Structure 1
Amino acid sequence: MRKVGGTIFIFILMAVLFFLNWYVYQAVKTVLPHSILATGKMVYWLIASGVSLWIGFTFFTIMQEGKISTMSQKSLNLFLTISVTQFTVILFLFGEDIYRSLSSLFGYMTSSEPGSSAVLPSRRKFVSQLAFSIAAIPFTGFVYGIFKGKYDFRTIRKTVFFKDLPEAFDGFTITQLSDIHAGSFTDFDAVKRGADLAAAQNSDLFVFTGDLVNHKADEIDPMIASFAQIKAPFGQFSILGNHDYGDYTSWPSPEAKQENFDRLKEKHKKLGYDLLLDESRIIEKEGQRIRLLGVENWGVGFHAKGDLEKSLENVDQDEFKILLSHDPSHWDEQVKNHSKNIHLTLSGHTHGMQFGIETPVIRWSPAQYRYPNWAGLAEEAGKFLYVNRGFGFHAFSGRVGIWPEITVIELRKG
């Protein structure tokens, strides 16, 4: 059944790619000089066919192997870059086609000549030229995102106020990283620059909120020294994400998968992280304390292994609580309405889909259609959630408009 479903998917994908290429060609032939139209047509379809076959083969390989390789990432990069560019061109062409159709219909309806038929006006060259000019913007954005944007680390600072924050923790800072996805990186010098930036924040506490690797524990090995340098006076803590369980690749046996998972937990120790598995730690300062909770992955539509109740064992109702939970859907489903007030939840997982627009005026990402809280700070009834946009990347080997993030949270009393 799975094989049949995969075949149908590939067939639909190839049909969609052909339609996109055909529609965009309508603009291409409008702007090409008549003298090279035949040659241009041949070159266009040779390139389009070759790229489409490569993309189709890539998706077939991913479904067969159950994982995304470095070569697959390159093909996905090409697929997304071309598709978004084509959709931009098609928006203009579709608008023009509506105008042409209405114009033809109006001409037919108002014609006084008997037996006249509707004539569709020719495409206008300037519309196609405008379409290609505008499409150059997302094309350039994707090229930048693939080669530079994925390493354009940004530090984002947020101050969150709580009336019942213990006095000793007024001004307490937390640096958060999430979603390293070590298996996606090839430029380890760039990774070190990002880790150096996180270390330079000199926060009181450091937390990592899951997805250390893509599939296998050893993916983090070349970067252990870079991330192990991040130290904080009140400790370094971590949790697991959905990718850390090895669920998205094939294993020769259940024992091999378990062995990989055990190795991954050891990697957290090598990094100097205290891995929280449905448990809590007391953070004490000047005789006062807050409670740090950490759960295994729990997400709607993903691995739901985390046990919030277990992490809250022996935790008093009136303690100030910070929860590390990888998937922000956990906050919506279980955390924000819990009887034991959890003041602040730190999550990741979404990556902001690694694509979107964030300006003071416009804030949009495809992630918002899946997650109501997909990046940044959210608040409901005095309970806060912060969703980190992720340090690394996965599948699409780039970032466009949603940059890799190092978060610094400052707790204030007020």
Structure 2
Amino acid sequence: MRQVGGIIFIIILMAVMFLMDWYVYQAVKTLLPDNNLVVGKIIYWTFAAGIGLWIGFTFFTIMREGHISTRSQLSLNLFLTLFVTQLTVIIFLFGEDIFRTLNAVYQYLTSTDTGKAASLPSRRKFVSQIAISIAAIPFTGFVYGIFKGKYDFRTIRKTVYFKDLPEAFDGFTITQISDIHAGSFTDYDAVKRGAGLAAAQGSDLFVFTGDLVNHKADEIDPMMDSFAQIKAPYGQFSILGNHDYGDYTSWPSREAKQKNFQSLKEKHKKLGYELLLDESRLIEKDGQTIRLLGVENWGVGFHAKGDLEKSLRDVGQNEFKILLSHDPSHWDEQVKKHPKNIHLTLSGHTHGMQFGIETPVIRWSPAQYRYPNWAGLAEEAGKFLYVNRGFGFHAFSGRVGIWPEITVIELRKA
């Protein structure tokens, strides 16, 4: 039944792609010389058909194999690039078509020739030129994001103030990275540079908030030395994300899946990260303490294995608490409402959908339609959440406008 649903999805997808190709062709043909119109038409539809079949086959392969391979990512990159580029052209053409339709209706209603049929005015060449020129902007952005943007690591610093922060931790710093997704990387030198940037922050504490790999533990092997270089005087701690359980690929047996999961937990140890599985640790400085909590993955629509209550066992009501929880929906559903005040939650998971716009004036990403808090700092009733935009990438092998992030959080006493 699931396979039938997948095939229906692919058929619908290819039908939508054909309609988009047809609509965009309405702009392309206005720019073709009359003597080359037939040749241009053949070339356009040959490319469109070839790309459509490749993308359709890719989705079928993903459905059959049960996961997104590096090979599949190439086709997904092309699909997203073309989809956004074509959508930009279509928005302009649709606007023109509304005007053409209104013009045709007006001409028909005001015409004194009762036998005259309504007809649309010709499509204007300059509108097609503007549409294609504007569409070149997102196209260029996607090309940059695929080849360079996914390795354009940014350090984002945030200072968060708390009235009840212990004095000894005033100015305490935490470096956070999230969502490495090791199986997606091919440029290991770029990864080493990004991990080195995280290490260079010299923070008091380092935390990793889940999704070390895409599917299998050995994906991290070529990058072990890169991430093992990250050290902090008060320790390196980590948690699991939804991808770390191996749920999104096929396994020959349940034992093989469990063996992979055990291997992944051992990788954390070899990296020098203390993996927190629904538990807590005391961080002590100058005779004062804060409590670091870490839960397994808990997310709406994803793996809900984490046990917040278990991590809070033996944790005092008045202790200052920082929680590592991979999915920010956990904060919305459980954490911010919890009677034991959890001061700061550090999450990841969303990647900011790896696509969007973040400026002082405009802040938008498709992620916002799924997650109320999809990137950056949020606060409610004195409880804070920070959502890291992710170190790596998955499915779409690129980043456009939402860059890979290394976060440095500074705790200050209000």
What TM-score comes out, normalization by structure 2 length? 1.00
Whichever residue aligns with residue 147 of structure 2, its letter is F
Paired with 2:267 and 2:176, the residues of 1 have a C-alpha distance of 18
Q: Within 5 A, what are the aligned runs for 1:77-88?
A: 77-88=77-88
Aligned to 2:388: 388
Amino acid at match of 2:111: S
Q: Which residue in 1 is equivalent to 2:347? A: 347
| 2:184 counterpart letter in structure 1 | S
Alpha-carbon separation, structure 2, partners of 1:344 and 1:382: 9
Counterpart AA for 1:15: A
- Provide the residue aligned with 1:46 in structure 2: 46
Residue pair 2:3, 2:63 contacting (<8 A) in 1 also: no
Q: Which residues in structure 2 correspond to 1:287-306 (within 5 Å)?
A: 287-306=287-306
Instruction: Write the deviation string for residues 122-156 of structure 1: whole angstroms up to 9, x where unpaired.
Output: 00000000000000000000000000000000000
1:160 is paired with a residue whose SS is strand
CA distance in structure 2 between the aligned counterparts of 1:247 and 1:260, rounded to whole angstroms: 11
The aligned counterpart of 2:259 is 259
Structural mapping, 1:3-402, within 5 Å: 3-402=3-402
Q: Distance in 2 between matches of 1:157 and 1:3?
A: 46
Q: How many matched pairs?
A: 414
- Report the alpha carbon displacement of residue 6 of structure 1 after superposing the two structures with TM: 1.2
Question: What secondary structure is seen at the aligned counterpart in 2 of 1:411?
Answer: strand
**Paired AA for residue 215 in structure 1:** H
- Unmatched tracts of structure 2, length 5 or more: none
**Local SS of the residue matching 2:20:** helix
Long gaps (5+) in structure 1: none
User: One-letter code of the match for 2:40?
Assistant: G
Q: Partner of 1:21: helix, strand, or coil? A: helix
CA distance in 2, matches of 1:291, 1:27: 61
* Counterpart-to-counterpart distance in 2, 1:92 and 1:163: 52
SS of 2:41's equivalent?
A: helix
SS of the residue 1:237 aligns to: strand
Paired with 1:12 and 1:113, the residues of 2 have a C-alpha distance of 44
- Letter aligned with residue 84 of structure 1: V
Inter-partner Cα distance in structure 2 for 1:171 and 1:32: 64
- Tell me the CA shift for residue 119 of structure 1: 1.4
State the shift of 1:7 in Å.
Answer: 1.4
Partner SS for 1:232 = coil
Q: Distance in 2 between matches of 1:77 and 1:30?
A: 28
Counterpart Cα distance in 2 of 1:116 and 1:77: 49
The amino acid across from 1:351 in the alignment is: H
Q: Which amino acid aligns with 1:232?
A: A
| Counterpart contact for 2:151–2:404, Cα < 8 Å | yes
RMSD value, Cα = 0.4
State the alpha-carbon separation in 2 of the partners of residues 43 and 217 from structure 1: 45
Q: Give the letter for the 1:202 counterpart.
A: G
Structure 2 distance, partners of 1:3, 1:408, is 44
Rounded to whole Å, the distance in 1 between the matches of 2:263 and 2:86 is 44
Name the SS for the 2:386 alignment partner.
Answer: strand
Structure 1 stretches of 4+ moved >2 Å: none
Distance of 2:327 and 2:167 partners within structure 1:
30
